[in-house]
Amino acid sequence: MCDKNCNPKKLLVYTLDCLLLHLRSNHRSSSLFTFYSGQLHTLMFLRTLLLAAAAVITAAALATVSSPTEELYSCLRNVFTHDEGIALPGEPFYRTWAKRYNLNIPVTPAAVTFPESSQQVAAVVKCAAEHKFPVQAKSGGHGYANHCLGGTDGAVVVDLKHLQQFSMNHTNWQATIGAGTLLGDVTKQLHNAGGRAMSHGTCLQVGSGGHFTIGGLGPTSRQFGASLDHVVEAEVVLANSSIIQASDSENQDVFWAIKGAASGFGIVTEFKVRTEPEPTTAVQYTYTLKFGTWKERAEVFKRWQAHVSAPGLTRKLASTLTVFEYSVAITGTFFGTQEEYDALEMDSQFPGTIGNSIVIQGWLGLVAHWAESLGMDWSDRIPTYFYAKSNAWTPENLMSSETVDKLFEFVTYAPKGTPTWFLLFDLQGGYTSDIPAEATSYAHRDVLIWLQSYTVNPLRPISRTQIEFLDQVNTLVTDNERPYAAYPGYVDPFLEEGAEAYWGANLPRLRRIKADIDPGNVFQNPQSPTPAED
C-alpha cells in the first residue's frame, strides 16, 4: 500500500528491482529463461533511465523548496496553526482575499495573511523581512491605488480583519480600538459605550487602521480634528518585528510618523483614542442647480467659496460642493438646531438654486444618512475601475474668479471619456488648522478646501482620455506659486513626486525616521517615504 508520503517513482523502481532479482535468481531453472533473458537488458535500461529522471526531478524540487518564495511560505505556515491564516497564489480563495478595490491597478501579492494577535503580526513581518519581501497592512482595503495589497506585485499583505477588540475607559473616555475595525463598527461601539463619538469619514466600510493613520477627514473634523488627531497612543509592530507602544511620551518619533504616514513605518495593531460626546441634533442641507449654463454653475461655486472662506465661519458647519456633468450640488451638515441653522441665512447665499433641509436626531441616524445619501452603504463595497486625484487651497490662495470660469468652461466642453465623473470640493480648516504642520507627519494643516476629482468606468479599464481629463482639471486649478499638495488618503498612482505632495515639508524628517527604524524598507508601497541616505 502507498500512504500519503509514498513516492510513486520510488515504488516503480522498487518493483523493477524485485523483478530483476527474480530473473537473476531463477533464470537457470526457468523454462522461460530464453524470453526473460531478452527482457533483462530492457528492464535494467528502464531502471537506469527512471533513476536518472528521478534525480533530475528531485534536484528541481530541492531548488524550488530553497527559493525565496517557498522559504517565505514555509516560514508563514509556521506562524499559523490552521490553513485559514494564509492565502497563497493558486489556492481556491486567494482571489477573494487579494481582491482589488481599484480594478484599474493590477497587483498580485505574494501572500495574504490573517493574524489574530499582534504577536502573529510580528511573526509575519519577521518572515517577510528575513526573506526580503515588502509588507503592507490591510484594514478595510479601500486604497485608491491598492497600496494595501502592496501597490505592485510581490508584497506580503497583513490583513487585520481579526483585530477588532474594543474597550472604553469610562474615567477619561478614551477608547481602545483594534486596527481591523471598520468605521461603521467604531461608530456603533462608541455609541454603545456611553454615547461617545470621534471624527471620521462618511464611508462606513473603511478600516480604522488606514483611516486613523493617513488623516481621517470627515464632517466633524472642523470641530474635533481629523481621526489621527484623536489618537493618543498606539501599539505598533516595527520592521524588526518588535512590538512597541508609541505616544507623545514614548517612542515619539514613531508616534509622529504613524500620524499621517504609517504604511511606510510599521503596522498599527491597536489605537487608544480620545472621544467626544455625540452630537445629538443636526440639520442636513442641500442646494442644487440643475441644467444651468457653465457660467451659472461657476457663479454658484464663487458664492460657495466666498461663504466658506469668510472669517468667523462657525465650525459647526460642514460643507461640500460637487460638480457633475450638468449640475452643481452644495451639501453638508450643520451641527445644531433648525433655528440656529436658519439664523445663518444660507438660503440667501445661493440664489437660483433649489434648497432644502431636514433635521436629524441621533448620531447613529446621522452617520447612516451620510452613507446612504452618498450611495456608500452599498456601492463602496463593489470594486470598479476608477482614477482619482486631489488638490488643495489655503485661505491665501483660493481660486480667482477667472480660474473658476476657466474650470467650468473646461469641464463643460472637454472630452471626458465617460459620463461618470465628478469633482468634490470639501471644506476643511477649523480644528485641523489649529494644529501646527510639524506636530504630526500629516502636513497639510493650512488647507481650507480639498478637491477630490474622480473618473469612473464600471466595465473596463480607465481610458487615456479619462486620465488626461482629470490631469488637465488639476493643472488648470493648481497654483504654481506654492508646492503642490495632495491628500495622502486620495492616492494618485500616476503622481510624480507623490511623497513630496503627500507630506510636504515633513518628508525630510519622515525619511530620517525611516532610516532609523526601517532601513531595509520593509514597509513600502510605490509612493511611501524611502530611508534617508547617509
Mean pLDDT of 353-375: 88
Strand 135-138 and strand 156-159: the pairing is: parallel
User: Would the pLDDT of 534 be above 90?
Assistant: no
How far is C-alpha 238 from the chain's CA centre?
19
User: Would the pLDDT of 36 be above 50?
Assistant: no
pLDDT, mean over the chain:
88
Position 84 scores a pLDDT of 86
Specify the CATH number of the domain 281-502: 3.40.462.20
Confirm if 270 and 208 have CB atoms less than 8 A apart: no
Position 375 scores a pLDDT of 56
Q: Which of 87-101, 105-119, 219-233, 425-439 has the lowest mean pLDDT?
A: 87-101
Task: Give tens-digit pLDDT for 289-331.
Answer: 998 899 999 999 999 999 999 999 999 999 999 999 999 999 9
Q: How far apart are CA 336 and CA 23, in angstroms?
A: 100
Starting at the edge strand found earlier in the chain, the sheet holding 174-178 runs 166-169, 174-178, 267-274, 231-237, 243-247
User: Would the pLDDT of 53 be above 90?
Assistant: no
Q: Which of 66-70, 425-429, 436-440 has the lowest mean pLDDT?
A: 66-70
User: Would the pLDDT of 466 be above 60?
Assistant: yes
Task: Give tens-digit pLDDT for 483-496.
Answer: 899 999 999 999 98
User: Would the pLDDT of 374 be above 90?
Assistant: no
Banded pLDDT at 92 (limits 50, 70, 90): confident
User: Would the pLDDT of 480 be above 70?
Assistant: yes
Position 33 scores a pLDDT of 36
Confirm if 443 and 504 have CB atoms less than 8 A apart: yes
Q: How far apart are CA 490 and CA 507, in angstroms?
A: 18
User: Would the pLDDT of 15 be above 80?
Assistant: no
Mean pLDDT of 121-138: 98
User: Would the pLDDT of 57 be above 70?
Assistant: no
Banded pLDDT at 47 (limits 50, 70, 90): very low
Mean pLDDT of 517-526: 98
Mean pLDDT of 219-241: 98
Position 381 scores a pLDDT of 64
Confirm if 316 and 335 have CB atoms less than 8 A apart: yes
Position 20 scores a pLDDT of 37
Domain ranges of the chain: 8-65, 281-502
SS3 assignment, position 75: helix
User: Would the pLDDT of 348 be above 60?
Assistant: yes
Instruction: Give the closest residue to 401 by CA, choosing from 306, 494, 488.
Output: 306
Position 81 scores a pLDDT of 85
Q: What percent of the chain has pLDDT over 70?
A: 86
